[in-house]
C-alpha cells in the first residue's frame, strides 16, 4: 500500500492524482517533460506529451525591429526578445505575452485568479495555467521586464499573461527582454513554482528563529532570563525594530529616524543604548546574529528636503513625503543612487551600524514601499520606463526606483554584512545573493505569494494568535518576526530550513517538514530517526506517536491532524 501511495504523491501514477493541486503533501514531483519549441516574432509554440500550446505576443507602440531567440533548457524554453529603436526619437511599447488557459484554475502571481486578475507583481512574476495533460507557466526573467510587470487573467479574451505597459527605448538604443515558458507534467502551480525555485537556485538554508527587539527592553531584562528566553525560542536572528523612535525623548509628535537621520545628534543616546543592547544580546547567545534597522527609501532628517533635493522621489511634480497621519515627524521619500547626495550620505550608515557591534542590517522596504504599484520618480529617467498612452506613445519618461538604485543598494549590502530584507528581491543581483528575505504577511492572505520565489518567510509582526500561524503555513510560509516570549513553540522548531518543496499547507525541507495537512509525509532519500511534534488547536506542543516507516531508502510518517492543528517532523541527522 505504501508503494502505491508513494507513486501517487510522487506524481508517477494516476492522471487525476498528477493533475490534482488540492493540498495533499508532495513527496516529490514529476521530472520535466521532454518538449519542443519553435517561434516567430509573435508566437512561441511548445509541444510535449500530447500537449500543444501557443504563447502569443501582442505589441503596441513605436517603430522598432524585433529579434527573437529561443534558448532551450531542461525545464523550460527561455525567450530572448531584442528590440531596437531605429528612429531619432524615444519610442514606447506596450507588450503582452499571453496563453489561453484550460478548464482548471489560473494562477496569477502565485494566487488563484478564477474571477480574473490584473496585478503589478515583480516579486512573483509568473502566470500558471492548466492545459491538456499538464500545465504551463510563464516567468519574467530580466530586471526591466520584471520591474515593469503586470500579471493578468483576462476573462474577456480568455487569456492569461505577462505584460508591460511602460517600456520605452531611446533613439538608436536597444533592449533585450527575457522571459521563460515552463511546460509542466501536472496541472500544479506548486510543481511549477518549485521547478522555477530550483532553476533560480533560491533553495538556500534559512536560519532562524527571528525576533524583534528594542534596546531598552533588552537592557531592562535580567541576563539569565534573557539567555533562557533566547534559548527557548532558538533565536538565530534578533532585529532592531524601526523606524527608530527614542521613547526617552519628549517631542510631540515623536521624532522618527529613517535614512541618515539615525546618525544625528538627536539619536546619540539611543545609539549608545543600542550598542549596549547588542553587546548584551550577543553575550546571552553568542551564536546570535544581531541586526540593526536600515531603510534606504526614506529620510526623516528635518533638512532632508533641502539637503537631498537631487534625491527626492518626485510624484505629481513635487517631492513625496508623509507625517504618518500626525503620529511621527515628517519623512521624505528618497531615491538613492551612487552619484546623488542622499545615496552618498547613506553610504555611511551601514558602517555606523557595524560600529555599534551589529552583525548586519535588517533592511526595511528593501525593494518596495507599496506592493500595489510600481515605485516611480519623475526626477530621473532609468532609460527604460515611460508613462505611455493607450497606443504606446510616450507621454513622460520616468524612473523605476529599483532600476535606478540598484548599484547604490548593492554597495550598502556589501558594507552592511549579513542582510535580512523586508520584501522579496526583484533584481537578479539581489536574487542571487544569499540574504534571507521575508514578506509582511500579517496584513492579508495575498502578499504571502510574493515570497514563493525567494525565502519562504512571513513576518507576522505583533500578532500572537495561533490562527495566523496556521494561515501562513497554508500559504507556503514559515513564521518570522515575533517578539521574545512568543507563546507558540512551533517557531523554535521551524529552523534551520533548507527548502526542498513548498506548497500550501506543507513546507518540506532537508532538515524538517512543517505542515497543517494530514497524510503521508517524509523524504524519499535518506533514512534515520525523526522527532515528531504535534501542535494542538491552541498551538500547544505535544510529542506524537504516529507511524514511521523506512522504505526504498526513504523515511515516511503518517500524520494525523485534527482541525486547527499542525505538525513538525524533524530529522535527527539530516543528510
Residues 192 and 275 in one domain: no
CA distance 406 to 417: 17
Q: Are residues 253 and 392 in the same domain?
A: yes
Domain count, the chain: 2
116 found inside a domain: yes
The pLDDT score that the predictor gives to residue 12 is 35
Residue 344 lies in a domain: yes
Residue-number span of the structural domain to which 117 is assigned: 40-199
Q: Rounded to 5 degrees, what are φ and ψ at 190?
A: -70, -35
Cβ–Cβ under 8 Å, residues 74 and 32: yes
> If you average pLDDT over residues 9-22, what whole number do you get?
36
- Domain contains 5: no
Q: What is the pLDDT of residue 29?
A: 76
**Is the pTM for the entire model greater than 0.85?**
yes
Average pLDDT estimate for 253-257: 98
Residue 93 lies in a domain: yes
Distances (CA, A) of 87 to 63, 93, 391, 395, 493: 7, 14, 17, 17, 60
* Per-residue pLDDT tens digits for 513-527: 999 999 999 999 999
Contacts for 521 with CB less than 8 Å, ≥ 6 apart:
25, 27, 506, 508, 513, 515, 556, 557, 559, 567, 569
pLDDT at 41 over 50: yes
pLDDT value, residue 265: 98
- For residue 538, the tally of other CB atoms under 10 A from its CB is 10
Same domain assignment for residues 193 and 214:
no
Whole-number pLDDT of residue 8: 38
Whether residue 14 lies inside any domain: the answer is: no
Question: Which run of H or of E encompasses 225?
Answer: helix 223-232
Of 395, 416, 435, the domain-final residue: 435
**Residue 105 binned pLDDT confidence (cut-offs 50, 70, 90):** confident
- Whether 131 and 274 map to the same domain: the answer is no
| 257/278 same-domain check | yes
User: Does 281 lie in the same domain as 423?
Assistant: yes
- Indicate whether 178 and 69 sit together in one domain: yes
Question: Which residues lie below 8 Å from residue 123, measured CB to CB, with a gap of 6+?
Answer: 109, 367, 368, 371, 423, 424, 426, 439, 450, 451, 453, 454
Q: What pLDDT does residue 68 have?
A: 98
C-alpha cell belonging to residue 373: 504599484
Question: Is residue 554 in a domain?
Answer: no
* Residue 146 predicted with pLDDT over 90: yes
Band of pLDDT at residue 21, cut at 50, 70 and 90: very low
> Which of 398, 418, 435 finishes a domain?
435
Q: Across the chain, what does the average pLDDT equal?
A: 94
Taking the C-alpha atoms of residue 371 and residue 318, their distance in angstroms, rounded to an integer, is: 22
> Do 181 and 77 meet the contact criterion of CB atoms below 8 Å apart?
yes
Q: Which residue has the higher pLDDT, 115 or 35?
A: 35
Same domain, yes or no: 144 and 245: no
The answer as to whether 184 is a domain residue is: yes
pLDDT of res. 3 = 41
pLDDT at 17 over 70: no
pLDDT score of 11 more than 70: no
How would residue 472 be classed by pLDDT, with cut points 50, 70 and 90? very high
The answer to whether residues 344 and 419 belong to one domain is yes
* Shared-domain flag, residues 81 and 215: no
pLDDT at position 160, please? 97
pLDDT tens sequence across 522-565? 999 999 999 999 999 999 999 999 999 999 999 999 999 999 99
| Cα distance between residue 471 and residue 462, in whole Å | 15
Residue 154 C-alpha from the chain's centroid: 25
What is the arithmetic mean of pLDDT over 87-116? 94
Q: Provide the percentage of residues in the chain whose pLDDT is more than 90.
A: 90
What is the pLDDT averaged over residues 257-265? 98
What percentage of the chain's residues is helix, strand, coil (to nearest 5)? Answer: 25, 35, 40
Is 60 in the same domain as 189? yes
Once rounded to an integer, what is the mean pLDDT over residues 430-441? 96
Instruction: Determine, yes or no, domain membership for 135.
Output: yes
Identify the band that residue 103 occupies on the pLDDT scale cut at 50, 70 and 90: confident
Residue after which a domain boundary falls, among 417, 435, 453: 435
Q: What is the pLDDT of residues 321-357, one digit of tens each?
A: 999 999 999 999 999 999 999 999 999 999 999 999 9
Q: What is the pLDDT at residue 7?
A: 41
One domain, residues 64 and 188: yes
pLDDT value of residue 476: 97
Mean pLDDT over 386-412 rounds to 98
Say if CB 507 and CB 473 are below 8 A apart: yes
Residue 329 contacts residue 323 (beta carbons within 8 Å): yes
pLDDT at 9: 44
Torsion of CA 426, 431, 436, 442, to 10 degrees: 20
pLDDT at 88: 98
Give the pLDDT band of residue 380 (cuts 50, 70, 90).
very high
Supply the pLDDT for residue 102: 87
Q: How far apart, in whole angstroms, are the C-alpha atoms of residue 366 and residue 296?
A: 7
Amino acid at each position: 500500500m505504501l508503494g502505491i501511495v508513494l507513486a501517487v504523491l510522487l506524481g508517477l501514477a494516476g492522471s487525476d492524482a498528477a493533475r490534482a493541486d488540492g493540498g495533499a503533501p508532495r513527496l516529490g514531483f514529476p521530472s520535466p517533460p521532454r518538449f519542443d519549441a519553435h517561434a516567430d516574432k509573435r508566437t512561441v509554440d511548445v509541444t510535449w506529451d500530447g500537449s500543444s500550446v501557443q504563447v502569443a505576443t501582442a505589441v503596441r507602440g513605436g517603430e522598432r525591429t524585433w529579434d527573437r531567440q529561443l534558448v532551450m533548457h531542461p525545464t523550460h524554453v527561455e525567450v530572448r526578445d531584442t528590440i531596437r529603436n531605429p528612429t531619432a526619437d524615444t519610442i514606447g511599447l506596450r507588450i503582452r505575452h499571453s496563453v489561453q488557459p484550460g478548464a482548471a484554475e489560473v494562477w496569477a502571481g502565485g494566487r488563484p485568479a478564477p474571477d480574473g486578475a490584473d496585478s503589478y507583481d515583480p516579486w512573483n512574476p509568473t502566470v500558471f495555467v492548466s492545459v491538456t495533460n499538464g500545465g504551463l507557466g510563464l516567468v519574467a526573467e530580466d530586471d526591466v521586464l520584471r520591474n515593469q510587470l503586470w500579471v493578468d487573467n483576462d476573462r474577456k479574451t480568455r487569456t492569461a499573461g505577462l505584460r508591460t505597459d511602460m517600456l520605452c527605448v531611446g533613439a538608436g538604443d536597444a533592449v533585450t527582454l527575457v522571459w521563460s515558458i515552463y511546460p509542466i507534467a501536472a496541472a500544479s502551480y506548486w510543481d511549477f513554482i518549485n521547478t522555477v525555485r530550483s532553476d533560480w537556485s533560491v533553495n538556500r538554508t534559512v536560519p532562524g528563529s527571528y525576533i524583534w527587539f528594542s534596546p531598552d527592553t533588552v537592557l531592562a531584562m535580567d541576563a539569565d532570563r534573557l539567555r533562557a528566553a533566547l534559548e527557548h525560542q532558538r533565536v538565530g536572528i534578533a532585529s532592531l525594530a524601526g523606524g527608530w523612535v527614542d521613547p526617552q525623548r519628549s517631542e510631540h509628535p515623536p521624532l522618527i529616524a529613517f535614512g541618515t537621520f539615525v546618525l544625528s545628534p538627536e539619536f546619540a543616546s539611543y545609539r549608545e543604548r543600542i550598542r549596549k543592547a547588542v553587546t548584551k544580546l550577543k553575550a546571552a547567545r553568542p551564536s546570535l546574529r544581531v541586526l540593526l534597522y536600515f531603510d534606504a527609501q526614506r529620510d526623516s532628517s528635518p533638512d532632508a528636503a533641502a539637503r537631498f533635493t537631487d534625491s527626492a522621489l518626485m510624484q505629481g511634480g513635487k517631492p513625496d513625503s508623509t507625517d504618518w497621519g500626525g503620529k511621527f515627524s515628517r519623512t521624505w521619500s528618497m531615491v538613492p543612487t551612487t552619484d546623488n547626495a542622499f545615496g552618498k550620505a547613506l553610504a555611511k550608515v551601514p558602517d555606523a551600524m557595524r560600529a555599534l557591534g551589529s552583525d548586519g542590517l535588517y533592511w526595511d522596504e528593501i525593494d518596495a514601499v507599496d506592493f500595489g504599484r510600481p515605485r516611480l520618480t519623475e526626477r530621473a529617467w532609468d532609460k527604460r520606463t515611460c508613462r505611455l498612452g493607450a497606443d504606446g506613445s510616450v507621454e513622460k519618461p520616468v524612473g523605476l526606483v529599483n532600476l535606478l538604485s540598484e548599484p547604490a543598494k548593492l554597495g550598502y549590502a556589501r558594507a552592511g554584512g549579513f542582510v535580512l530584507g523586508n520584501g522579496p528581491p526583484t533584481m537578479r543581483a539581489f536574487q542571487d545573493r544569499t540574504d534571507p528575505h521575508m514578506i509582511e504577511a500579517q496584513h492579508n492572505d495575498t502578499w504571502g505569494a510574493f515570497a514563493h520565489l525567494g525565502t519562504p518567510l512571513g513576518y507576522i509582526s505583533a500578532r500572537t494568535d495561533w490562527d495566523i500561524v496556521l494561515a501562513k503555513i497554508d500559504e507556503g510560509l514559515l513564521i518570522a518576526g515575533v517578539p521574545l516570549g512568543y507563546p507558540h513553540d512551533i517557531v523554535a522548531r521551524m529552523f534551520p530550513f533548507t527548502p526542498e518543496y513548498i506548497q500550501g499547507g506543507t513546507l518540506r525541507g532537508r532538515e524538517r517538514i512543517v505542515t497543517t495537512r494530514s497524510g503521508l509525509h517524509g523524504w524519499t532519500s535518506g533514512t534515520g530517526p525523526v522527532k515528531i511534534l504535534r501542535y494542538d488547536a491552541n498551538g500547544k506542543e505535544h510529542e506524537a506517536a504516529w507511524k514511521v516507516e523506512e522504505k526504498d531508502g526513504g523515511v515516511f510518517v503518517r500524520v494525523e491532524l485534527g482541525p486547527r492543528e499542525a505538525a513538525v517532523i524533524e530529522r535527527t541527522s539530516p543528510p
